[in-house]
């Protein structure tokens, strides 16, 4: 009679049982059967563990986690089927393949074994070769299962990773789409705004253009000052066009044409529901200008609290849309313009000195037309040629006397006033010689002091300019019969957007009775 080999303890493979082939738990109460299996498995380098009954088998399986269990059916206490069911219910042991050891030939018993979760069975008396073949087959199957599960996990992780990549690409795509849509709307407004060359060769203009050429390729903020109509916007565009940012848009914001309540949302955008009436998310000018240039026209008109925010964006190169807690980085070059004397605005407490210094890194002052009278003839001829083209006329020229009158005039409205004068003369042209048969003084109030004069003089000048502008707008409105929009509307003739034209009409207090005859 065989003796029980080392009661219920782990038996390491001896010379032949190194465990390299795997760990097998034998659950068997019959010492003779254990002996046969032990010898057979140890010879093939299996590490073997032994348990005498179901209860100790469950414990051993849980902490030693063998690769395979050989389980006897007939055992005292908990029988093999029940032991198998418990092993399968326990998450720690459920995936260990179980092979029944049975002397039974009854098919029902075998079926019960499979129903309990076993994968195979070995019939007593054992055949060495069969035992080894079945044990090896199930161990290999288990290895494949593991490899499959690991592969599956890896695949799932990759799918999750790709899904995340796709999701963030989609978010990015959505953002770009929004930005493109907004950019498109913005650019449609800008289409039609003719971008003409800067005309003139006077030393004053050439010196100014030299500055433009030097600053354009840099990222430096530029502050353009000059009287109304001197070409501040033209110069801003020239800087943008000569910079490496020209493939991105130059986005403009006329700070005077936007009400104080809306200016921040125009600059930084807003989230949906940020304030009453914010029905949709809106992309701001800063975001639109990302990679390009932001032209802040009439910058002194920004409310003081917006000036603080603008300064922060210029310093930190990031902004928060109104109603959002998330900051967005931007790469924007800012060009600001004003026809006011900024130092006076600072002295009057209407403009922040720190913002002024930030914007004024590179100042460009455009000389008034009367300070470069040498440009008048060239500009006038350029305007004649341009209007002749639009009006479909040929052979128009400016007579010597008219040219002298133009050169002697003070041009408080500068190039814009000159353009408008030529346009008016071209419309009423009888023969080919352009003549100005109305006194130029009618629409100007004599010489205007330069922009750097005192605040009092500046105010006087701005009154004079406002009255020139007022008269001019009333004249245009008379011509268009009060129509503002459309190809024959006043906005087109004034070279303004309809919204700006309406704003100016309101600001200058022009009444309907003044232009409706
Ligand atoms: N040197 C120039 N050559 C050709 N056109 C010019 C020149 N300077 C100004 N203009 C034209 O004069 C008009 C007014 O120019 P612009 O709008 O740039 O002036 P501004 O200084 O911005 O005026 P405002 O202060 O009223 O906004 C535009 O039609 C512009 O094309
Ligand atoms: Mg302008």
Domain ranges of the chain: 10-145, 203-365, 369-452, 453-517
Q: Is 202 helix (H, G, I), strand (E, B) or coil?
A: coil
**Residue 275 vs residues 50, 324, 326, 504: alpha-carbon distances, Å:** 75, 11, 17, 27
Which ligand is nearest the CA of 339, by number? 1
Instruction: Choose between 441 and 224: higher pLDDT.
Output: 224
Distance 61 CA to ligand 1 centre (A): 90
Taking only the tens place, the pLDDT of each residue in 165-213 is 999 898 888 888 887 877 776 665 555 444 458 999 999 999 999 999 9
Q: What CA–CA distance (Å, rounded) separates 438 from 473?
A: 17
- What is the pTM for the complete model shown? 0.58
CATH code reported for the domain at 203-365: 3.40.50.300
Residue 205 alpha carbon, nearest atom of ligand 1: 1
Nearest ligand by distance to the CA of 338: 1
For residue 128, report the distance from its CA to the centre of ligand 2, in Å. Answer: 100
Retrieve residue 179's tokens: 């930005």
Domain 369-452 listed as CATH 1.10.8.60:
yes
- Which tens digit of pLDDT belongs to each residue from 453-498? 344 444 455 566 677 788 888 888 888 888 888 888 888 888 777 8
CATH 1.10.10 fits 453-517, yes or no: yes
Fold match between 10-145 and 453-517?
no
Rounded distance between C-alpha atoms, residue 482 and residue 466, angstroms: 20
* Contact status, residue 321 vs residue 268, Cβ threshold 8 Å: yes
Closest ligand by atom to 252 CA: 2
Convert the pLDDT of each residue in 262-273 to its tens digit.
899 999 999 888
Question: Does an H or E element contain 100, and which?
Answer: strand 98-102
Q: For ligand 1, which residues put their CB under 6 angstroms from it?
A: 196, 198-200, 226, 228-234, 339, 379, 415-416, 419, 495
What are the distances in angstroms from CA 254 to CA 28, 66, 297?
92, 79, 5
Q: Is there a contact between 327 and 367 (Cβ–Cβ < 8 Å)?
A: no
Atom of ligand 1 nearest to the CA of 224: 21
Mean predicted lDDT score pLDDT of the chain: 85
Q: Which CATH superfamily is domain 10-145 in?
A: Response regulator (3.40.50.2300)
User: What confidence score (pLDDT) does residue 18 get?
Assistant: 59
Cα of 94 from ligand 2 centre, angstroms: 80
CA atoms within 13 A on the CB side of 371: 18
Q: In angstroms, what is the span from residue 180 Cα to ligand 1's centroid? A: 29
Q: How far is CA 332 from CA 211, 220, 249, 420, in A?
A: 20, 10, 11, 34
**Other CB atoms within 10 A of residue 169 CB:** 10
Three-state SS for 433?
A: strand
Identify the top-confidence range among 181-195, 242-256, 436-450. Answer: 242-256
Cα separations (Å) of 277 from 182, 270, 348?
Answer: 18, 11, 34
For residues 312-335, average pLDDT: 93
**What pLDDT, in 10s, does the model give residues 120-159?**
999 888 888 999 999 999 999 999 998 999 999 999 999 9
Residue 337's alpha-carbon distances to 251, 354, 359, in angstroms, are 13, 16, 10
Structure-token match 């080392």, residue found: 6
Dump pLDDT digits (tens) for 358-406.
Answer: 999 999 999 999 999 999 999 999 999 888 888 777 778 888 888 898 9
Atom number in ligand 1 closest to CA 495 = 29
CA distance linking residue 405 with residue 119, whole number of Å? 111
Give the single-character DSSP code of 94: T
């Amino acid at each position: 009679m065989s003796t029980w080999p080392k009661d219920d303890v782990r038996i390491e493979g001896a010379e032949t049982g190194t465990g390299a082939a795997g760990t097998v738990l034998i659950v068997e109460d019959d010492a003779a059967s254990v002996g046969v299996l032990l010898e057979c498995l140890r010879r093939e380098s299996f590490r073997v563990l032994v348990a005498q009954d179901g209860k100790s088998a469950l414990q051993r399986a849980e902490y030693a986690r063998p690769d395979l269990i050989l389980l006897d059916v007939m055992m005292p206490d908990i029988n093999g089927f029940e032991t198998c069911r418990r092993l399968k219910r326990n998450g720690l042991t459920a995936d260990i393949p179980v092979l029944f050891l049975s002397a039974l030939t009854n098919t029902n018993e075998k079926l019960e074994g499979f129903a309990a979760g076993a994968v195979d069975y070995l019939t007593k008396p054992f055949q060495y070769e069969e035992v080894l073949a079945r044990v090896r087959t199930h161990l290999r199957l288990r290895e494949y299962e593991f490899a499959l599960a690991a592969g599956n996990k890896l695949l799932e992780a990759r799918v999750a990773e790709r899904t995340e990549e796709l999701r963030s690409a989609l978010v990015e795509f959505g953002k770009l789409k929004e930005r493109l849509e907004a950019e498109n709307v913005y650019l449609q407004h800008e289409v039609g705004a003719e971008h003409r060359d800067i005309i003139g060769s006077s030393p004053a203009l050439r010196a100014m253009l030299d500055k433009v050429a030097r600053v354009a390729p840099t990222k430096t903020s530029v502050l353009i000052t000059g009287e109304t109509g001197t070409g501040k916007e033209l110069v801003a565009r020239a800087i943008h066009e000569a910079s490496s940012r020209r493939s991105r848009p130059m986005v403009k914001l006329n700070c005077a044409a936007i009400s104080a309540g809306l200016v921040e949302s125009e600059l930084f955008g807003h989230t949906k529901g940020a304030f009453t009436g914010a029905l949709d998310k809106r992309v701001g000018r800063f975001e639109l200008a990302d990679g390009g240039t932001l032209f802040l026209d009439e910058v002194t008109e920004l409310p003081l609290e917006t000036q603080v925010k603008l300064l922060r964006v210029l310093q930190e190169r990031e902004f928060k849309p109104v109603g959002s807690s998330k900051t967005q980085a931007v790469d924007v070059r800012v060009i600001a313009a004003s026809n006011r004397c900024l130092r006076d605005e600072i002295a009057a407490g209407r403009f922040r000195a720190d913002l002024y210094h930030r914007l004024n890194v590179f100042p460009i002052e455009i000389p008034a037309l009367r300070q470069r009278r040498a440009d008048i003839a060239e500009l006038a001829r350029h305007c004649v040629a341009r209007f002749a083209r639009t009006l479909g006329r040929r052979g128009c020229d400016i007579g010597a006397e008219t040219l002298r009158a133009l050169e002697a005039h003070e041009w408080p409205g500068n190039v814009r006033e000159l353009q408008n004068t030529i346009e008016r003369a071209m419309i009423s042209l009888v023969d080919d010689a352009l003549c100005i048969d109305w006194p130029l003084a009618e629409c100007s109030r004599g010489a205007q002091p330069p922009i750097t004069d005192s605040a009092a003089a500046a105010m006087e000048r701005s009154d004079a300019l406002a009255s020139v502008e007022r008269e001019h707008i009333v004249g245009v409105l008379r011509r268009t019969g009060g129509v503002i929009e459309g190809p024959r509307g006043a906005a087109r003739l004034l070279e303004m957007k309809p919204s700006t034209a309406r704003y100016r009409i309101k600001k200058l207090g022009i009444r309907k009775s003044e232009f409706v005859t």
